[in-house]
Amino acid sequence: MESIKLNKKDRACGMVNLPGSKSLSNRALLLSSLARGKTRITNLLDSDDTRHMLNALALLGVEYELSEDRTECTVYGLGEAFSSSKPLELFLGNAGTAMRPITAVLCNSSGEYVLTGEPRMEERPIAHLIDAVRQLGADVTYLKKEGYPPLKIRGKKLTGGVAEIDGSVSSQFISAFLMAAPLMDGDVLLKIKGELVSKPYIDITIGMMKSFGVTVENRDYKEFFIKNGQSYVSPDTFLVEGDASAASYFLAAGAIAGKVRVTGVGLHSVQGDVKFVKVLCAMGAKVVMGDDFIECERAPLHGVDMDMNSIPDAAMTAVPLALFASGKTVIRNVANWRVKETDRLRAMANELRKLGIECVEGEDYLEITPGKINRNVAIDTYNDHRMAMCFALVSFATDVIINDPKCCAKTFPDFFEKFAGIVD
Ligand SMILES: O=C(O)C1=C[C@@H](OP(=O)(O)O)[C@@H](O)[C@H](O)C1
Ligand SMILES: C=C(OP(=O)(O)O)C(=O)O
């Protein structure tokens, strides 16, 4: 297996222009495909996750043109749900933001579809979404394990109605359901049961649906109502903000070892992960934000004890930060780390222990006690882009080896080049 050795670095400084947000890119591609009219998407992320979405849309008959560097895409919207006269098989890799919304939309599209993914996708639950769409009459079969992809969908026009969905494992199920709702023939009321996790991603979804002409009535995150008769309309152009989760690695580098600015995301971001700056500030780092940038500068760091449920992706970056802080850090309320690219609580605890760091892996939290870090440890990344990107930050303490660094391609193919550009 390929690996990369990162020699100890003392300083981080400079500026990084962020790639487009994964969450916004995949929503923009899907909504443009369903909308009436042509949409020009700019600053689109080019990564495995967006390629899976683009490939699926092409098979579903959507026409689009990509610029040479694949960061601009003109999508010719269908103005309606998908339909296919022949059975289709769609491979969606390990992209949650493709698998979940495409499932929901295809339940309401005519045709027969099989949705598959990488082996890990077969371990990532989807039952809460399927239970909800079935309440409206959707016809979905689990092809292997009950509650998990691969799926077979016999799509048909759904007539809307009332459905209940469990929100305690993934907000993506709610986002997926909401994006599919306006295509149905009737009012839709979605009721949430359980504690809703990763809430800010619901705001992203509702905000983007609004940009594409559809209003969702949010009743205090307990019920969502979509009035019938609305349809997606292209906003002509859609600019994808820089990826706020990706920003966290560079901001953390600034907090640990100098001063780093990221551009493409700032004060008015729609992404919940910009709130990672609150973690940085709580730990003592100096943060400045502008309309289109965030800058973070080193200061003595101290441990924190924080609920990070609303920033599940950026929260991982608090792990390497904790290694450079005085005192313990506890990252709380992140039970759903266990059903992402890997079991992230287990993976983090395993690799921290290899570094010689004391930690407690709770059911839904991680407690880290900083200490001396072992040199030249080979970090396993579990096919999880965020494991690779987080542990790159260990190189501000000592030499470290990152196994399978290419797993970054899920959301940030040139991460290690960009990281090399801000360290000396
Ligand atoms: O809706 C989205 O774009 C996402 C929601 C989050 O997932 P969960 O809602 O499963 O926590 C996040 O971790 C994922 O990377 C992207
Ligand atoms: C959880 C993640 O991805 P996905 O969209 O596949 O859920 C992630 O990017 O950290």
Identify whether residues 315 and 343 lie together within a single domain: yes
Residue 289 and residue 193 in one domain: no
> What's the 3-state SS for 108-153?
CCEEEEEEECCHHHHHCCCHHHHHHHHHCCCEEEECCCCCCCCEEE
Residues 6+ apart with CB under 8 A from 271: 21, 23, 24, 200, 204, 241, 243, 244, 245, 265
Supply the DSSP symbol for 307.
E
pLDDT tens profile 48-60: 999 999 999 999 9
**Model-level pTM greater than 0.90?**
yes
At 209, is the secondary structure helix, strand, or coil?
Answer: helix
Model pLDDT, residue 151: 98
Concatenating the DSSP letter of every residue in 152-175 gives EEEE-----EEEEEE-SS-HHHHH
Nearest residue to 73 via CA among 24, 22, 25, 19: 25
Look at the chain and report how many structural domains it folds into: 2
Active site residue 384: no
The reply to whether 234 falls in a domain is no
Strand arrangement, sheet containing 217-219:
161-166, 188-193, 223-226, 217-219
Q: Are residues 336 and 219 in the same domain?
A: no
Closest CA to 403 of 424, 373, 382: 382
Same-domain pairing of 260 and 214: no
Domain that holds residue 300: 3-19+242-421
User: What pLDDT is attached to residue 221?
Assistant: 98
Contact 318, 325 (CB under 8 A): no
Q: Which of 195, 224, 253 is the last residue of a domain?
A: 224
Tell me the C-alpha distance between 26 and 422, whole Å: 28
Q: How high is the pLDDT of residue 52?
A: 98
97 touches ligand 2 (CB under 6 Å): yes
For residue 211 and ligand 2, the question of a CB distance below 6 A is answered with no
What CATH number should be reported for the domain holding residue 295?
3.65.10.10
Domain assignment present for 357: yes
Residue 375 inside a domain? The answer is: yes
Q: Which residues contact 220 (CB under 8 A, 6 or more apart)?
A: none
The residue ranges of DSSP E strands in 3-84, in sequence order, are 3-6, 12-17, 38-42, 63-66, 72-76
Integer Cα distance of 117 and 119 in angstroms: 7
Write down which residue in 224, 253, 271 finishes a domain.
Answer: 224
418 is in an annotated binding site: no
Residues 158 and 208 both lie in one domain: yes
Residue 180 CA to ligand 1 center (angstroms) comes to 17
13 and 30 part of one domain:
no
Model pLDDT, residue 239: 98
CA of 244 to the centre of ligand 1 (A): 13
Task: Kindly state the tokens that stand for 289.
Answer: 């934000």
Is 17 one of the annotated binding-site residues?
Answer: no
Predicted pLDDT of residue 176: 98
Ligand 1 pocket member 201 (CB < 6 A): yes
> Per the domain annotation, does 134 fall within a domain?
yes
Domain stops at, among 197, 224, 251: 224
| Residue 284 is assigned to a structural domain of this protein | yes
Q: Return the number of other C-beta atoms located less than 10 Å from residue 291's C-beta.
A: 9
Residue 405 lies in a domain: yes
Q: Is the CB of 336 under 6 A from ligand 1?
A: yes
Let me know whether 405 and 287 are in one domain: yes
CA-CA distance, 405 to 418, in Å (whole number)?
13
Q: Give the ligand with the smallest distance to the CA of 149.
A: 2
Same domain membership, residue 31 and residue 70: yes
Domain match, 211 and 64 both: yes
Dist CA 153 CA 142 (whole Å):
9
d(CA 295, CA 311): 19
- 109 inside domain: yes
**305 CA from centroid of ligand 2 (Å):** 24
pLDDT for the residue 156: 95
What SS3 class is residue 334? coil
Calpha distance 1→10 (Å, rounded) = 28
User: Given the structure tokens 């222990």, which residue do they identify?
Assistant: 353
Please identify every stretch of the chain with a pLDDT value under 50, giving residue numbers as ranges.
none
Same domain, 218 and 282: no
236 belongs to a structural domain: no
Catalytic residue among 243, 273, 313, 384: 313
Q: For the chain, state the CA radius of gyration.
A: 21
Is 333 annotated as contributing to ligand binding?
no
Is residue 128 within 8 Å of residue 165, measured between CB atoms?
yes
Are both 281 and 364 inside the same structural domain?
yes
According to the model, what pLDDT value does residue 1 have?
A: 79
Same domain? 165 vs 207: yes
